Amino acid sequence: MHKSAALALLVAAPLAAFAQMSPVGIWHSIDDTTRETKSEIVIADSGGVLTGRIAKLLRRDVKQDAVCDLCTDDRKDKPILGMEIIRGAKKQDGKEVWEDGKILDPENGKSYTLRLTPIEAGKKLDVRGSMFGVGRTQTWVRVQ
């Protein structure tokens, strides 16, 4: 291997690892009870603000044409497939945490205050949704 190629790899490897410490990417959400993969979520960054959409519904028993009939905002009666479920999360200064956003649970139509924290070198993502200080944390698994 050429010296400059080896040096480029040494410089690029830590940068690639650092880039993975972001929620931006493709994730599998996991059912809290069955541990089955529920959906594939694509999280994107637009000007420092994160959004996340359901790209695929992966559970065997789910209807691909299901709509969010319990939603109360602009997503009411819209297809769950393709739905934006994460809105407005921003990176907190000096931390590997994204907050100040909302996450929608299309199964119950409720929006929760959101906190995203990459863990295990960015291979997993702790997704915390809470309302009035009470909530739950799911761990999503990075696909890409």
Q: What domains can be seen in the chain, in order of their start residue? A: 3-142 (2.40.128.520)
Q: Smallest Cα–Cα separation from 139: which of 29, 20, 26?
A: 29
pLDDT of residue 133: 83
- Beta pairing partners, 25: 43
11: pLDDT confidence band, cut at 50, 70 and 90? very low
* pTM of structure: 0.83
SS (H, E, C) 1-47: CCHHHHHHHHHHHHHHHHHCCCCCEEEEEECCCCCCEEEEEEEEEEC
Q: Is the dihedral of CA 107, 70, 101, 27 positive or negative?
A: positive
59 pLDDT above the threshold of 50:
yes
Q: Smallest Cα–Cα separation from 14: which of 136, 94, 121, 88?
A: 121
